[in-house]
Structure 1
């Protein structure tokens, strides 16, 4: 996106030196636009470290910062003429000499003498703005704010080059990247995602989150004009709505309304009235949680200062987002990244926006091309590009025991060296077996690069890519497994692609290696079930059936048919839960809803302890009693027998299907436990009879112990 943006800017022939400087700042400083400076990476990904962690790390490892040292050598030229960039030269000083650190802030605002004014601004401005609504927002000198404003001002001067979506989308992407970077910084500092309409103790609404983000975008003076303890439409604040910053303005509209809104709702990352703590995103991470979206409907745009955004409707998840010619909308995740999301599947959007669903954004935002269409005779096999042709090795799982993926720029540079080694083979790679040979050689070559992680990662990614071009599922699997052993990669998405790719090229998998692909399919099926990823479950069942049919494995096909039936029942109950905005993690005030969620955990996920948390708060006395009694772990066989009787009665009264079988199965487990602990008695005889009846009704003879 950044490259396209710079080429576009060059094509306009804007021969302005200050503007060129601002463009260079935008490339190096904007995280969402592709910036890769160490400070920007830290701001985007290190959300859990303490505020002083970066400063302490800088003191502990001054010699390790090789790249910043090389980068810092550039300001020696401006040193001859100090006026152009006083603010840029002030920041490196605290890292080199910790004591004069307070002098960095006054240096950014006014080039006063360094020794004496340093102590005064450090004490004075720090306290007065603090009582405002947001803590860090009113502090002067927010890191990166001036750079962002400079980029915004530069973008104002550049013509769009057309009124169509393709032209305006490029600018929208750049502006949303700046807002996303500022929002990610605010989230990192406050450890929470802002509410769309924050309220005071009396429930009174004030100003939009967009207003409180102004200092992070460099609009400190505009922010100071607002009365933070007054509503957005008070006499003072309503006048300021006409001063809409360019970064919030809607392309093609000259008014006080914006199409940049938070996606809000009780199941979303952002809520209406209260900020969402980062810790609440248990099954997600910041880079998978959509926070801000671009509205497509001009009529739905709110006044930019008004605490109003887009309310998520699970019955119509694409509401407000449809209408773009390319059938895609731009979305920003909580780490500040901009994503191009297609509006093709309502279920996908529901799974994406409900943060209790663990899902990787790449499953939705990037729809991979089918492998069969990738290896056409005219396919480019350049070694310079390290991106796989499909099923990308996407973002990382942040496994602390593994290395993070090296930056793309470094991998591309390493790929150029690899091209010299394999350029002859690449020229002659006009057939699948020759491409497979290149992949095999690169895999072997990667073994000799253990001490050079960048080159090793580049070799493995290129091997992965050539294995896809060669239609070799085995080599694709081997390349990814080597990547996964050492680097932080998204295993679910890539394993899903390996299984899918293998099913479409099953004739190329040797018989002795087929069990490896079945094992991967079984592993990710269990993960998809645990994550309630129903589209993935459906696809895995289809792929598994195809594998089993190719081997005439009737037993596996019958098992998959049973899994499919159970999955359809689980999907139906899950959709009913989502339609009521219910959380699968925390009980709500909705007693009927708690019963639905509790049954879902018990029946479809066999997690009875989790289900009991909800059943205790349901409106069914029998379920409450059984949940409460089970949680006491009774040792008395008579109480165990009563629990079994309770589940049996509920099971017999339930309609045939998963619910009935699961409750009867739970009763059988307690009958078995009470029978083992009881001496001869009427209850013991009854328990043995009920166990025989359970086997007659369900055909299950092997009853697992509790």
Structure 2
């Protein structure tokens, strides 16, 4: 009978069904494999599984199955998914029970391209029922990856890129699930207590990809190159396969470093990715340089180098590379410049990935006609870097193209080459920077040359360690062109602090204003790294001037920012939106209080408080939005905020709610005639001053 070996036949049909869905056959309109995979539903109901109908009666209900702990790098020996008993693998298969569910596709058409040898290979490594039902979606990922083996890819990068993107899509889904389960980005190079390198993150991702049987073969408490584990490097899953390169190496690596989303020796908490978030943080990249392909089991990835961020990812014909962000989404990024890549990989830089992805690719390392490479920016503020939305001023000129700037730079270098060669002292470098700033004034009718002159000017200012000239060059760039003023201003403050002795006393107030402006923008963008850096700079400067008052103010600011970051990280960890209220009432209360307490934006916080799980906040927000003019209602609002403030622990929330109450008491007191409420308002205002030391209470806005 044809059903004598039901497992083998069911496996043939299942693989043929997967291939049919990926090749665009069966009336799907001829979609490519990558477009079909992009729509593949990884969360199908396991009850519709057609691979093992005979096992279905013996399977436990989904609700009764305990959810396994995902594999972790710290204690590898304790985190293996439980291996199924041999009887569970073989007994159900031996029963000649016919398949009760007919296959939806005609048998003849999908079976035709599948050879018996190929199906035997796939069936022999199909995960057991226990292993594939432990982690949702693992069975489907496994089926697609094994199906790719039946469709080898040949041709140029255009063909292999589509396959790489499809494989990365599946890899990204598995990685995102692992990150969500652990709330950390796994360590790239986990070690044991003695410091020995164990197995790569790629090995610990195997159960999420459906390769639990292979995962169970590894000895997780041994190094990757132990006599036992090194043999398994030859069993590379297709998830780490380089098309048409059948070896034990892979192109898919973590981008690692202390400023990146992934670290080498320790797992990185998701909360540490603020203000980026998972969706804006690159974790995996596809390297182009064959020398940087690594053995897939080896804990060896790509170390981020801010001086050469394009290392290993350049070399693709279209000057673009593929990457996966922490939410599992596959992106395609152009290689623009070192500045672009630094802003992309350093997670403390606030940036939208769309700004990078839509930029025009350029090839790094191009020459200027003299067999020497064109200079890259010496700062993180090179014009042409990703623009901030606030900097797209329509009254300013868009930046000239890179080709135009390079051509103008070449001409200016010829003009100043003799002086540049003789500039062996800081003073001579300052003179060149000054001449270039003056020269830029005469080039207003030639934006490319003007921009190039200002670029060379600020580079000579850096070489001369002159913050004033640097600031002048950046100011002129900001006045004329649409550049990233936040990064340039931050660099100005940082560079000024490092070379404070070269700033004349009458110029110091201007640098303080720049620092204040950058701090305000950093707070608006939730860029806590920049805020902390600015506070450190300010504290060092105040200490050099022995200004104890400023030091005390900065200490208070540091504590306030620390509390703000704690609440912001909690919001990010729960994937809450700062813009739109959600169905999470407790989360809405968190976000609403964040806007009111830490950003002093009560109108933005009220919509969240209205949908919170606290009746007090809901009532106060609703009443405030009516803008009451009745002093009795104003007094009632003040009492409500006062009660919340008094009941809060000492800190930012307590002071902010008491301050809001004081504003309403002040307004009610001004509008009331003699009454018990007026007397109470005056008493509350006196108590507020005693508790906080604040005598000047601002009016309500």
> What TM bracket, shorter-length normalisation?
0.5 to 0.7
Identify the residue that residue 337 of structure 1 maps to in structure 2.
Answer: 334
CA distance in 1, matches of 2:535, 2:575: 28
Deviation of residue 391 (structure 1)?
2.8
| Of 243, 249, 254, the match for 2:151 | 243
CA distance in 1, matches of 2:527, 2:673: 46
CA distance 1:519–1:344, shift in 2 (3 Å): closer
Matches within 5 A, 1:11-160: none
* 1:327 pairs with 2:312: no
| Of 485, 489, 501, the match for 1:491 | 485
Identify the residue that residue 86 of structure 2 maps to in structure 1.
Answer: none
Check whether the contact 1:384–1:415 (CA below 8 A) recurs between aligned residues: no
| Of 653, 678, 685, the match for 1:684 | 678
CA distance 1:634–1:234, shift in 2 (3 Å): same
* 1:314 pairs with 2:270: yes
CA distance in 2, matches of 1:603, 1:359: 31
CA distance 1:248–1:595, shift in 2 (3 Å): farther
Matches within 5 A, 1:267-282: none
Check whether the contact 1:528–1:536 (CA below 8 A) recurs between aligned residues: yes
* 1:551 pairs with 2:545: yes
| Of 369, 378, 390, the match for 2:379 | 390
CA distance 1:351–1:520, shift in 2 (3 Å): closer
- SS of 2:576's equivalent in the other structure is coil
Check whether the contact 2:350–2:527 (CA below 8 A) recurs between aligned residues: no
Check whether the contact 1:249–1:259 (CA below 8 A) recurs between aligned residues: no
Matches within 5 A, 1:173-252: 239=147, 242-243=150-151, 245=153
* 1:440 pairs with 2:434: yes
CA distance 1:359–1:601, shift in 2 (3 Å): farther
| Of 571, 575, 591, the match for 1:597 | 591
Output one character per residue of 1:316-338: Cα deviation in whole Å (capped at 9) or x when no partner. 87997495443249747968425
CA distance 1:698–1:235, shift in 2 (3 Å): closer
CA distance 1:435–1:296, shift in 2 (3 Å): farther
Identify the residue that residue 704 of structure 1 maps to in structure 2.
Answer: 698
CA distance in 2, matches of 1:255, 1:685: 74
Deviation of residue 395 (structure 1)?
2.6
Matches within 5 A, 1:256-405: 258-259=167-168, 299=206, 314=270, 321=284, 323-328=299-304, 331=323, 336-338=333-335, 349=347, 385=374, 387-393=376-382, 394-396=385-387, 397-405=391-399
Deviation of residue 543 (structure 1)?
0.8
Check whether the contact 1:415–1:459 (CA below 8 A) recurs between aligned residues: yes
Report the count of equivalent residues: 455
CA distance in 1, matches of 2:418, 2:342: 42
* 1:639 pairs with 2:639: no
Identify the residue that residue 622 of structure 1 maps to in structure 2.
Answer: 616
CA distance in 2, matches of 1:498, 1:256: 40
- SS of 2:270's equivalent in the other structure is coil
CA distance in 2, matches of 1:582, 1:649: 28
Deviation of residue 645 (structure 1)?
0.3
CA distance 1:447–1:256, shift in 2 (3 Å): closer
Identify the residue that residue 130 of structure 2 maps to in structure 1.
Answer: none
Deviation of residue 245 (structure 1)?
4.5
| Of 591, 602, 605, the match for 1:611 | 605
- SS of 2:491's equivalent in the other structure is helix
CA distance in 1, matches of 2:619, 2:496: 49
| Of 577, 583, 588, the match for 2:582 | 588
Deviation of residue 553 (structure 1)?
2.8
Deviation of residue 315 (structure 1)?
5.4
| Of 540, 560, 563, the match for 1:566 | 560
CA distance in 2, matches of 1:637, 1:358: 50
Deviation of residue 437 (structure 1)?
0.7
Output one character per residue of 1:10-46: Cα deviation in whole Å (capped at 9) or x when no partner. xxxxxxxxxxxxxxxxxxxxxxxxxxxxxxxxxxxxx
Q: Given the two structures, how large is their TM-score scaled by the length of structure 2?
A: 0.55
Check whether the contact 1:457–1:483 (CA below 8 A) recurs between aligned residues: yes
Check whether the contact 2:343–2:349 (CA below 8 A) recurs between aligned residues: no
Deviation of residue 388 (structure 1)?
2.9
Identify the residue that residue 125 of structure 2 maps to in structure 1.
Answer: none
Check whether the contact 2:271–2:572 (CA below 8 A) recurs between aligned residues: no
* 1:575 pairs with 2:569: yes
Deviation of residue 602 (structure 1)?
0.8
CA distance 1:640–1:237, shift in 2 (3 Å): same
Check whether the contact 1:383–1:415 (CA below 8 A) recurs between aligned residues: no
Deviation of residue 676 (structure 1)?
1.1
- SS of 1:488's equivalent in the other structure is coil
CA distance 1:244–1:684, shift in 2 (3 Å): farther
Identify the residue that residue 317 of structure 2 maps to in structure 1.
Answer: none
Instruction: List alignment gaps of at least 5 residues for structure 1.
Output: 1-128, 139-144, 150-178, 184-193, 206-224, 226-230, 272-294, 362-381
Deviation of residue 681 (structure 1)?
1.1
What's the Cα RMSD here? 5.1
CA distance 1:335–1:609, shift in 2 (3 Å): farther
Deviation of residue 261 (structure 1)?
6.2
CA distance 1:527–1:263, shift in 2 (3 Å): farther
Output one character per residue of 1:135-184: Cα deviation in whole Å (capped at 9) or x when no partner. xx96xxxxxx9xxx9xxxxxxxxxxxxxxxxxxxxxxxxxxxxx9xxx9x
Greater gyration radius: 2
CA distance 1:507–1:436, shift in 2 (3 Å): same
Deviation of residue 703 (structure 1)?
0.4
CA distance in 1, matches of 2:170, 2:158: 10
Output one character per residue of 1:482-533: Cα deviation in whole Å (capped at 9) or x when no partner. 1111111111111111100000000001111011111000001001111111
Check whether the contact 2:669–2:681 (CA below 8 A) recurs between aligned residues: yes
Instruction: List alignment gaps of at least 5 residues for structure 2.
Output: 1-23, 49-112, 114-138, 181-200, 211-237, 241-253, 255-260, 262-267, 273-277, 286-298, 305-312, 314-321, 325-329, 358-370
CA distance 1:526–1:235, shift in 2 (3 Å): closer
CA distance in 1, matches of 2:551, 2:27: 64
- SS of 2:167's equivalent in the other structure is coil
- SS of 1:575's equivalent in the other structure is helix
CA distance in 2, matches of 1:391, 1:612: 38
- SS of 2:302's equivalent in the other structure is coil
Check whether the contact 2:271–2:569 (CA below 8 A) recurs between aligned residues: no
Check whether the contact 2:515–2:534 (CA below 8 A) recurs between aligned residues: yes
Deviation of residue 578 (structure 1)?
1.3
CA distance in 1, matches of 2:626, 2:345: 39
